[in-house]
Structure 1
């Protein structure tokens, strides 16, 4: 049986789920992933999913935009079913992230890995992690889980709420949950390849974080100046109001382990502090980055994935940072990227951050490409 992908732009929860069910089935699925707009009534959505998929486990989260078989949409849902003949899944729900306990997280991850290993019959697998995108706990959570997976690769995304930054939810077997994360350990007989790509290179412009609150991810000072004003000066936009589109076009990066990683800015606050999508501490040296061709970068990625899975992937589950979505819209490239995603069978959502191996990252496209049976 194939991986089956679907989507709907219907705004009524029952109508959208009914359309998705027609596209992806579900009775023969090991599990289903659903990524949905925060605008849906959650109670209606849960009832519709239960009616459509019955006892089949359904996992997912709210989004900042959906990636469907017909491209990018906003205000709808996307989904994919994994056939039971080729896939099994083990899941864990981590609640109370605001009271994050590293030892408990590692222990529960070890237990889940042991359960998977006992039934895997030597087959390969990967971890998929969906996190409340406003929990501010991704770094610690991803580090703990990623290092406890006994070599299994990890990818995932942080839930969104359409850039409202008010409430994001993960969906775990009949419940929408905040302050929580879902870990899925997927076992398969098929070839697959996990990936991360970004399209930025560092410039010579450096900045030092001289005032920050790690817990809230707020930066108050850069180079001993108000953070927003100094950032605007360094990117040459002192006379323009800062917005998510500005942050998307002018990201900052940090060097970790010989590689640069984006540290994305979420918003500017009334006191001229900046809130980031990831943890930022005092003393951190940030570098202003500039973009390279995002379309060609994706072409290169998809060519590589075809080589790694032995042909065109049957499906790609993708987690695309919402700032990339804003950037492509600003540069009139969104249609081109959307067409590429359609051509290469990407299903997923626009995130508030991405997970890759043991790191929480920003302004990337991460995911897993899965080959044909």
Structure 2
């Protein structure tokens, strides 16, 4: 991996290129929005070129998406394959970052991409989404066939405020069948109505971007979580699934009952508590988190994922996050040999846990050692499911598949 650093005025750009795969990454720190146009141009100059098949940009919400999209458009060249979104924190080969733009590009020498924007997610229908994704896959496979032997994966970036991720993941995951699908929800705060995604110079709202990516490089799709269920179980007795709000647990006000089961007072319920003690549901032999976002004024609980009445949940406890993550990367190295780069999606609640547990330093070391580029999300997509409190992604080796 070749790493370069460039300092211009108040911006610092660090970037690198994987020797074997040609995958490029860059991290742009821009202290003033007045310099944004120059900062974006320099970042794209470092990783986007005529041979780039796809560029992904993960942008701190301190920058406004319309301004970034305009800067991308003004940078020149073909911007139709530059996809970006806001984050709740950036994952970079420099470790965790906040207030930066992180980018990764995939060279046409090893990658073939098809992408489609799905808009007006409030009107998204599973049947139509399934048909559209299946048609997209058939068309992509026809293009892929002209490039020799390749294998395909899907990447899905969602508007995190749409609250339609479950329907979208179900439709696309089932349509793609054997093709693995991963992704994340753009991490814009629910307190803002600003756009959180773009394609080239086009600002996207209430949208999702589905990318089918084929490569002749060896890769592995992965997902990990580090919590385990306790004996305490509870039942959702009143909820509003459309808003992801739970009003009652065990026929009691949700926040009060959750706090009671943990031996806490309502005032002690914080994002740190939610991170350490998620509620989990068992499905297909595994437990999946139904992560709590916040306590509402009426003692209801706001969730990051779909939740419904009658569901039986368990309270879980956090395990050793660093050890779990280290074992994931060790397994990837066993499978791939040298890991050239990792495209990663990590839940914001995991970051909160790392911060409170003083784990940011060792985790940043793992991000650096494994060249991870991605973002902290408001939910992750894996296969047919939208979930929380996971680390999900694709790791790339430098061996060409035969």
> When the two structures are superposed, what TM-score results if normalisation uses the length of structure 2?
0.89
Alignment of 1:86-97 (within 5 A): 86-97=110-121
- Given the alignment of the two structures, is residue 301 of structure 1 paired with residue 301 of structure 2, yes or no? no
Deviation at 1:163, TM superposition (A): 6.6
Question: Following the alignment from structure 1 to structure 2, what is the Cα–Cα distance between the partners of residues 367 and 302?
Answer: 11
- Specify the alignment match of 1:338 in structure 2: 364
169-178 vs 280-289, which moves further: 169-178
- Specify the alignment match of 1:354 in structure 2: 380
Partner of residue 129 from structure 2, selected from 90, 97, 105: 105
Relative distance call for 1:172 and 1:21 in structure 2 (3 A) is closer
Question: Following the alignment from structure 2 to structure 1, what is the Cα–Cα distance between the partners of residues 192 and 178?
Answer: 34
- Given the alignment of the two structures, is residue 272 of structure 1 paired with residue 318 of structure 2, yes or no? no
* Contact 2:66 2:195 (C-alpha < 8 Å) held by counterparts: no
Deviation at 1:44, TM superposition (A): 2.4
* Contact 1:2 1:372 (C-alpha < 8 Å) held by counterparts: no
SS in 2 for 1:104: helix
- Specify the alignment match of 1:323 in structure 2: 349
Deviation at 1:168, TM superposition (A): 5.4
- Specify the alignment match of 2:3 in structure 1: none
Could you give the per-residue CA deviations for residues 90-110 of structure 1, whole angstroms, max 9, x where no partner exists?
001111111111222111101
Partner of residue 123 from structure 1, selected from 150, 156, 160: 150
161-170 vs 86-95, which moves further: 161-170
Relative distance call for 1:97 and 1:262 in structure 2 (3 A) is same
Deviation at 1:166, TM superposition (A): 4.6
- Specify the alignment match of 1:29 in structure 2: 52
Partner of residue 232 from structure 1, selected from 248, 255, 259: 259
Question: Following the alignment from structure 1 to structure 2, what is the Cα–Cα distance between the partners of residues 168 and 223?
Answer: 38
- Specify the alignment match of 2:286 in structure 1: 259
Question: Following the alignment from structure 2 to structure 1, what is the Cα–Cα distance between the partners of residues 312 and 27?
Answer: 42
Alignment of 1:169-180 (within 5 A): 169-180=196-207
Partner of residue 192 from structure 1, selected from 204, 209, 219: 219
Question: Following the alignment from structure 1 to structure 2, what is the Cα–Cα distance between the partners of residues 166 and 228?
Answer: 26
Question: Following the alignment from structure 1 to structure 2, what is the Cα–Cα distance between the partners of residues 133 and 206?
Answer: 29
185-194 vs 11-20, which moves further: 11-20
* Contact 2:90 2:101 (C-alpha < 8 Å) held by counterparts: yes
Could you give the per-residue CA deviations for residues 67-86 of structure 1, whole angstroms, max 9, x where no partner exists?
12211111211110100110
Deviation at 1:162, TM superposition (A): 4.9
Relative distance call for 1:250 and 1:167 in structure 2 (3 A) is farther
- Specify the alignment match of 1:82 in structure 2: 106
- Specify the alignment match of 2:184 in structure 1: 157
* Contact 2:60 2:90 (C-alpha < 8 Å) held by counterparts: yes
Deviation at 1:173, TM superposition (A): 3.0
Deviation at 1:18, TM superposition (A): 3.4
- Given the alignment of the two structures, is residue 50 of structure 1 paired with residue 76 of structure 2, yes or no? no
Query: Pairwise CA RMSD of aligned residues?
Result: 1.6
324-333 vs 163-172, which moves further: 163-172
- Segments ≥4 residues shifted beyond 4 Å: 162-168
- Given the alignment of the two structures, is residue 3 of structure 1 paired with residue 30 of structure 2, yes or no? no
Question: Following the alignment from structure 1 to structure 2, what is the Cα–Cα distance between the partners of residues 165 and 323?
Answer: 19
Question: Following the alignment from structure 1 to structure 2, what is the Cα–Cα distance between the partners of residues 165 and 222?
Answer: 29
Question: Following the alignment from structure 1 to structure 2, what is the Cα–Cα distance between the partners of residues 162 and 140?
Answer: 21
* Contact 2:125 2:167 (C-alpha < 8 Å) held by counterparts: no
* Contact 1:27 1:53 (C-alpha < 8 Å) held by counterparts: no
Deviation at 1:337, TM superposition (A): 0.7
Could you give the per-residue CA deviations for residues 279-329 of structure 1, whole angstroms, max 9, x where no partner exists?
1000101111111111110111001111222x1211100000000000100
- Specify the alignment match of 2:9 in structure 1: none
Question: Following the alignment from structure 2 to structure 1, what is the Cα–Cα distance between the partners of residues 200 and 40?
Answer: 15
Question: Following the alignment from structure 2 to structure 1, what is the Cα–Cα distance between the partners of residues 193 and 359?
Answer: 28
SS in 2 for 1:9: strand
For structure 1, the residue ranges without an aligned partner over 5 or more in a row are none
Relative distance call for 1:222 and 1:239 in structure 2 (3 A) is closer
- Specify the alignment match of 2:5 in structure 1: none
Question: Following the alignment from structure 1 to structure 2, what is the Cα–Cα distance between the partners of residues 10 and 340?
Answer: 24
- Given the alignment of the two structures, is residue 135 of structure 1 paired with residue 162 of structure 2, yes or no? yes
* Contact 1:156 1:354 (C-alpha < 8 Å) held by counterparts: yes
